Structure 1
Amino acid sequence: MAGDSVRVDTWVWGVRLAKTRSQATAVCRAGHVRVNGATAKAAQAVRLGDEVRVRLHGFERIYRVAGLPVRRGSAVEAAKHFEDLTPPPPPRVERPATVVRDPGAGRPTKRDRRDIDRLRGRESE
Protein backbone atom coordinates (compact mmCIF):
# COMPACT_ATOMS: atom_id res chain seq x y z
CA MET A 1 0.00 0.00 0.00
CA ALA A 2 2.94 2.35 0.39
CA GLY A 3 3.07 3.10 -3.34
CA ASP A 4 2.10 6.27 -5.14
CA SER A 5 -1.62 5.92 -4.40
CA VAL A 6 -4.06 4.67 -1.77
CA ARG A 7 -7.78 3.85 -1.83
CA VAL A 8 -9.87 6.89 -0.93
CA ASP A 9 -11.75 5.06 1.84
CA THR A 10 -8.44 3.96 3.37
CA TRP A 11 -7.16 7.53 3.20
CA VAL A 12 -10.32 8.94 4.85
CA TRP A 13 -9.98 6.34 7.61
CA GLY A 14 -6.19 6.76 7.91
CA VAL A 15 -6.36 10.53 8.41
CA ARG A 16 -9.06 10.00 11.06
CA LEU A 17 -12.02 11.57 9.24
CA ALA A 18 -14.00 8.38 9.92
CA LYS A 19 -13.79 6.18 13.01
CA THR A 20 -13.86 2.86 11.18
CA ARG A 21 -12.89 1.65 7.74
CA SER A 22 -16.43 0.47 7.09
CA GLN A 23 -17.75 3.92 8.04
CA ALA A 24 -15.32 5.47 5.55
CA THR A 25 -16.55 3.07 2.86
CA ALA A 26 -20.18 3.93 3.67
CA VAL A 27 -19.43 7.66 3.36
CA CYS A 28 -17.95 7.02 -0.08
CA ARG A 29 -20.91 4.87 -1.15
CA ALA A 30 -23.32 7.59 -0.05
CA GLY A 31 -21.59 10.03 -2.41
CA HIS A 32 -20.21 12.29 0.32
CA VAL A 33 -16.60 12.07 -0.90
CA ARG A 34 -15.36 13.88 -4.01
CA VAL A 35 -11.84 13.65 -5.42
CA ASN A 36 -10.80 16.48 -7.73
CA GLY A 37 -14.46 17.44 -8.20
CA ALA A 38 -15.79 13.99 -9.13
CA THR A 39 -17.79 11.72 -6.83
CA ALA A 40 -15.47 8.98 -5.60
CA LYS A 41 -16.16 5.30 -5.12
CA ALA A 42 -14.47 3.63 -2.16
CA ALA A 43 -11.78 1.95 -4.26
CA GLN A 44 -10.77 5.07 -6.20
CA ALA A 45 -7.07 5.88 -5.93
CA VAL A 46 -5.92 9.06 -4.20
CA ARG A 47 -2.51 10.52 -5.03
CA LEU A 48 -0.39 13.29 -3.55
CA GLY A 49 -1.77 16.73 -4.38
CA ASP A 50 -5.37 15.56 -4.99
CA GLU A 51 -8.20 17.64 -3.56
CA VAL A 52 -10.62 15.63 -1.42
CA ARG A 53 -13.99 17.06 -0.33
CA VAL A 54 -15.71 15.15 2.46
CA ARG A 55 -19.21 15.91 3.73
CA LEU A 56 -19.53 14.79 7.35
CA HIS A 57 -22.08 15.82 9.97
CA GLY A 58 -23.67 18.33 7.60
CA PHE A 59 -20.47 20.24 6.81
CA GLU A 60 -18.22 19.96 3.78
CA ARG A 61 -14.51 19.94 4.48
CA ILE A 62 -11.84 20.42 1.80
CA TYR A 63 -8.44 18.72 2.07
CA ARG A 64 -5.34 18.43 -0.10
CA VAL A 65 -3.56 15.09 0.10
CA ALA A 66 -0.08 15.71 1.51
CA GLY A 67 0.76 12.13 2.39
CA LEU A 68 -0.46 8.59 2.01
CA PRO A 69 -0.86 6.83 5.37
CA VAL A 70 0.24 3.20 5.45
CA ARG A 71 -1.80 2.58 8.60
CA ARG A 72 -4.03 4.52 10.97
CA GLY A 73 -1.92 6.35 13.51
CA SER A 74 -2.25 9.08 16.08
CA ALA A 75 -4.00 12.36 15.34
CA VAL A 76 -0.63 14.14 15.21
CA GLU A 77 0.65 11.62 12.67
CA ALA A 78 -2.59 11.79 10.66
CA ALA A 79 -2.41 15.60 10.44
CA LYS A 80 0.83 15.26 8.45
CA HIS A 81 -1.08 13.57 5.61
CA PHE A 82 -3.41 16.44 4.66
CA GLU A 83 -3.70 20.22 4.35
CA ASP A 84 -7.04 21.66 5.46
CA LEU A 85 -8.28 24.07 2.76
CA THR A 86 -11.73 24.56 4.28
CA PRO A 87 -12.62 28.27 4.37
CA PRO A 88 -13.45 29.62 7.82
CA PRO A 89 -17.15 29.76 8.64
CA PRO A 90 -18.91 33.11 8.25
CA PRO A 91 -19.15 35.18 11.43
CA ARG A 92 -22.19 34.48 13.54
CA VAL A 93 -24.93 37.06 13.28
CA GLU A 94 -25.97 38.48 16.60
CA ARG A 95 -29.62 37.88 17.27
CA PRO A 96 -31.77 40.61 18.77
CA ALA A 97 -32.44 40.55 22.46
CA THR A 98 -34.61 37.73 23.65
CA VAL A 99 -37.48 37.97 26.03
CA VAL A 100 -36.92 36.09 29.26
CA ARG A 101 -39.96 35.36 31.34
CA ASP A 102 -39.85 34.24 34.92
CA PRO A 103 -40.51 30.54 35.42
CA GLY A 104 -44.09 29.96 36.46
CA ALA A 105 -45.25 33.33 35.15
CA GLY A 106 -47.93 31.65 33.07
CA ARG A 107 -48.85 32.36 29.49
CA PRO A 108 -48.06 35.80 28.09
CA THR A 109 -50.94 38.24 28.00
CA LYS A 110 -52.01 39.97 24.83
CA ARG A 111 -49.96 42.99 25.85
CA ASP A 112 -46.91 40.80 26.56
CA ARG A 113 -47.29 39.16 23.13
CA ARG A 114 -47.36 42.55 21.40
CA ASP A 115 -44.22 43.62 23.29
CA ILE A 116 -42.48 40.37 22.33
CA ASP A 117 -43.44 40.79 18.67
CA ARG A 118 -42.25 44.40 18.66
CA LEU A 119 -38.93 43.36 20.19
CA ARG A 120 -38.45 40.64 17.58
CA GLY A 121 -39.18 43.06 14.76
CA ARG A 122 -42.56 41.59 13.85
CA GLU A 123 -44.89 44.53 14.09
CA SER A 124 -48.60 43.78 14.14
CA GLU A 125 -50.27 43.95 10.74
Structure 2
Amino acid sequence: MSEPVRVDKWMWAVRLFKTRGLAAKACETGRVKVGERLLKAASDLRGGELLDLPFPEGPGTRTVRVLGLIDKRVGVPEARAACEEITPSGVTEQRKIWSESRALRLIGDQGRPTKKNRRQIEDQKRGFFE
Protein backbone atom coordinates (compact mmCIF):
# COMPACT_ATOMS: atom_id res chain seq x y z
CA MET A 1 0.00 0.00 0.00
CA SER A 2 1.36 3.43 -0.89
CA GLU A 3 2.20 6.04 1.69
CA PRO A 4 -0.13 8.97 2.32
CA VAL A 5 0.67 12.31 0.67
CA ARG A 6 0.16 15.88 1.89
CA VAL A 7 -2.99 17.44 0.47
CA ASP A 8 -1.29 20.60 -0.82
CA LYS A 9 1.44 18.58 -2.54
CA TRP A 10 -1.07 16.31 -4.23
CA MET A 11 -3.29 19.16 -5.46
CA TRP A 12 -0.22 20.86 -6.93
CA ALA A 13 1.18 17.63 -8.42
CA VAL A 14 -2.05 16.78 -10.28
CA ARG A 15 -2.27 20.37 -11.54
CA LEU A 16 -5.41 21.47 -9.73
CA PHE A 17 -3.48 24.55 -8.58
CA LYS A 18 -0.70 26.41 -10.36
CA THR A 19 1.54 26.59 -7.30
CA ARG A 20 1.82 24.66 -4.08
CA GLY A 21 1.41 27.92 -2.19
CA LEU A 22 -2.02 28.49 -3.76
CA ALA A 23 -3.01 24.93 -2.84
CA ALA A 24 -1.90 25.51 0.75
CA LYS A 25 -3.77 28.82 0.88
CA ALA A 26 -6.98 27.09 -0.23
CA CYS A 27 -6.53 24.65 2.66
CA GLU A 28 -5.80 27.45 5.15
CA THR A 29 -9.03 29.26 4.25
CA GLY A 30 -11.00 26.13 5.14
CA ARG A 31 -12.35 25.50 1.66
CA VAL A 32 -10.85 22.04 1.06
CA LYS A 33 -12.92 19.21 2.55
CA VAL A 34 -13.27 15.46 2.61
CA GLY A 35 -16.93 14.98 3.41
CA GLU A 36 -17.56 17.36 6.31
CA ARG A 37 -13.95 17.30 7.56
CA LEU A 38 -11.84 20.39 6.78
CA LEU A 39 -8.33 19.62 5.59
CA LYS A 40 -5.15 21.47 6.46
CA ALA A 41 -2.27 21.64 3.99
CA ALA A 42 -0.30 19.01 5.91
CA SER A 43 -3.23 16.57 6.21
CA ASP A 44 -2.59 13.11 4.84
CA LEU A 45 -4.51 12.11 1.75
CA ARG A 46 -5.42 8.52 0.94
CA GLY A 47 -6.55 6.90 -2.28
CA GLY A 48 -10.28 6.81 -3.05
CA GLU A 49 -11.20 9.92 -1.05
CA LEU A 50 -13.54 12.55 -2.46
CA LEU A 51 -12.22 16.11 -2.18
CA ASP A 52 -14.39 19.21 -2.35
CA LEU A 53 -12.20 22.17 -3.24
CA PRO A 54 -12.56 25.65 -4.72
CA PHE A 55 -11.66 26.54 -8.28
CA PRO A 56 -8.39 28.52 -8.27
CA GLU A 57 -10.21 31.49 -9.77
CA GLY A 58 -13.86 32.42 -9.65
CA PRO A 59 -16.95 30.96 -8.02
CA GLY A 60 -17.87 27.36 -7.43
CA THR A 61 -16.59 24.20 -5.82
CA ARG A 62 -15.28 21.18 -7.69
CA THR A 63 -15.37 17.56 -6.58
CA VAL A 64 -12.40 15.32 -7.31
CA ARG A 65 -11.78 11.65 -6.51
CA VAL A 66 -8.21 10.64 -5.57
CA LEU A 67 -7.14 7.71 -7.77
CA GLY A 68 -3.38 7.81 -7.32
CA LEU A 69 -1.03 9.37 -4.80
CA ILE A 70 1.79 11.43 -6.29
CA ASP A 71 3.88 14.12 -4.63
CA LYS A 72 6.01 15.29 -7.57
CA ARG A 73 4.74 17.42 -10.44
CA VAL A 74 4.28 15.13 -13.44
CA GLY A 75 3.06 15.43 -17.02
CA VAL A 76 -0.60 15.99 -17.81
CA PRO A 77 -1.39 12.34 -18.74
CA GLU A 78 -0.01 11.05 -15.43
CA ALA A 79 -1.73 13.84 -13.50
CA ARG A 80 -5.10 13.05 -15.08
CA ALA A 81 -4.65 9.39 -14.20
CA ALA A 82 -4.16 10.32 -10.52
CA CYS A 83 -7.52 12.07 -10.14
CA GLU A 84 -11.06 11.89 -11.48
CA GLU A 85 -13.15 15.02 -11.94
CA ILE A 86 -16.72 14.36 -10.77
CA THR A 87 -17.96 17.94 -10.51
CA PRO A 88 -21.72 18.21 -11.23
CA SER A 89 -22.59 19.57 -14.67
CA GLY A 90 -24.55 22.50 -13.16
CA VAL A 91 -21.38 23.87 -11.58
CA THR A 92 -19.53 23.45 -14.87
CA GLU A 93 -22.22 25.43 -16.71
CA GLN A 94 -22.10 28.24 -14.12
CA ARG A 95 -18.30 28.38 -14.49
CA LYS A 96 -18.65 28.66 -18.26
CA ILE A 97 -21.09 31.57 -17.94
CA TRP A 98 -18.83 33.25 -15.38
CA SER A 99 -15.76 32.96 -17.60
CA GLU A 100 -17.66 34.31 -20.62
CA SER A 101 -18.89 37.32 -18.66
CA ARG A 102 -15.37 37.88 -17.36
CA ALA A 103 -14.02 37.75 -20.91
CA LEU A 104 -16.56 40.39 -21.94
CA ARG A 105 -15.31 42.65 -19.16
CA LEU A 106 -11.72 42.24 -20.31
CA ILE A 107 -12.36 43.02 -24.00
CA GLY A 108 -9.89 45.52 -25.42
CA ASP A 109 -7.75 48.15 -23.82
CA GLN A 110 -10.43 50.78 -24.03
CA GLY A 111 -10.81 51.05 -20.26
CA ARG A 112 -14.44 51.82 -19.65
CA PRO A 113 -16.89 49.50 -21.47
CA THR A 114 -19.10 50.89 -24.21
CA LYS A 115 -22.85 50.97 -23.79
CA LYS A 116 -23.16 47.82 -25.92
CA ASN A 117 -20.51 46.01 -23.84
CA ARG A 118 -22.21 47.10 -20.61
CA ARG A 119 -25.53 45.64 -21.79
CA GLN A 120 -23.83 42.35 -22.69
CA ILE A 121 -22.19 42.20 -19.27
CA GLU A 122 -25.50 42.85 -17.51
CA ASP A 123 -27.22 40.14 -19.57
CA GLN A 124 -24.49 37.68 -18.60
CA LYS A 125 -24.74 38.60 -14.92
CA ARG A 126 -28.52 38.13 -14.94
CA GLY A 127 -28.12 34.67 -16.46
CA PHE A 128 -25.46 33.67 -13.93
CA PHE A 129 -27.30 34.73 -10.78
CA GLU A 130 -30.76 33.45 -11.73
Normalising by the smaller structure, the TM-score range is 0.5 to 0.7
* 2:8 match: secondary structure: helix
Matches within 5 A, 1:1-125: 3-56=2-55, 57-89=58-90
CA distance in 1, matches of 2:68, 2:36: 19
Higher alpha-carbon Rg: 1
Q: Which runs of 4+ in 1 moved over 2 A?
A: none
* Distance in 2, Cα, partners of 1:88 & 1:81: 21
| Inter-partner Cα distance in structure 1 for 2:88 and 2:73 | 26
Pairs aligned (count): 92
Secondary structure of 1:72's partner?
Answer: coil
Instruction: Show structure 2 runs of 5+ residues with no match.
Output: 95-113, 115-130
Report the TM-score, using the length of structure 2 for normalisation.
0.64
TM-score between both structures, scaled by the size of structure 1: 0.66
User: Take 1:48 and 1:38, find their aligned partners in 2: how far apart are those partners?
Assistant: 16
**TM-superposed deviation, 1:35:** 1.8
* Counterpart residue type for residue 46 of structure 1: L
The structure with the largest helix share of the pair is 2
- The CA distance in 1 between the partners of 2:14 and 2:35, in whole Å, is 18
Offset, 1:52: 0.6
Name stretches of at least 5 consecutive residues in structure 1 with no aligned partner: 93-102, 104-125
The Cα RMSD (Å) is: 2.1
Q: Identity percentage over the alignment?
A: 36
